[in-house]
Amino acid sequence: MRKIIALVACVSLALAGCSKKNDQAAPGAATRTKIAFVPKLQGIPYFEAMNIGGMKAAADLGVEWIYKGGTTADPGAQTEILKSLIQQKVDVLVVAPNDPDSVVPILADAASKGIKVMTSDTDAPNSARAVFVNQATADGVGKAVIDSLLAAMGGAGKYAIVSCGQTAANLNSWIDVEKKYAATAFPNSSLVDVVYAGEDEAKATSMAKDLMNAHPDLTGLVGECTTSAPGVAKAVREAGKIGKVFTVGVGTPNSMKPYLADGSSSTSILWDVEQLGYLTAWAADKVKKGEALQPSNHVSAKLPAVKFADKTLLLGDPLKLTRGNVGNYDY
Whole-number average pLDDT of the chain: 91
- 3 state SS for the chain: CHHHHHHHHHHHHHHHHHHHHHHHHHHHHHCCCEEEEECCCCCCHHHHHHHHHHHHHHHHHCCEEEECCCCCCCHHHHHHHHHHHHHCCCCEEEECCCCCCCCHHHHHHHHHCCCEEEEECCCCCCCCCCEEEECCCHHHHHHHHHHHHHHHCCCCEEEEEEECCCCCHHHHHHHHHHHHHHHHHCCCEEEEEEEECCCCHHHHHHHHHHHHHHCCCEEEEEECCCCHHHHHHHHHHHCCCCCCCEEEECCCHHHHHHHHHHCCCCEEEECCHHHHHHHHHHHHHHHHHCCCCCCEECCCCCCCCEEEECCEEECCCCEEECCCCHHHCCC
Mean of the pLDDT values across residues 215-234?
98
Residue 45 lies in a domain: yes
pLDDT of 330 reads 87
Same domain, 145 and 230: yes
Q: What is the pLDDT of residues 27-76, one digit of tens each?
A: 444 589 999 999 999 999 999 999 999 999 999 999 999 999 999 999 99
Domain span at 211: 138-270
Confidence of residue 115 (pLDDT cuts 50, 70, 90): very high
Domains: count for the chain: 2
Predicted pLDDT of residue 8: 37
Residues 257 and 157 in one domain: yes
pTM of the full predicted structure?
0.82
pLDDT for the residue numbered 161: 98
pLDDT at residue 29, rounded to an integer: 46
Predicted pLDDT at 243? 97
Q: What is the pLDDT of residue 177?
A: 98
Q: Is the pLDDT of residue 238 over 70?
A: yes
**CATH code of the domain in which 86 resides:** 3.40.50.2300
Per residue in 164-210, pLDDT (tens digit) is 999 999 999 999 999 999 999 999 999 999 999 998 999 999 999 99
Q: What's the pLDDT band for 25 if we cut at 50, 70, 90?
A: very low
User: Of residues 13 and 88, which shows the higher confidence score?
Assistant: 88
Please report whether residue 24 resides in a domain: no
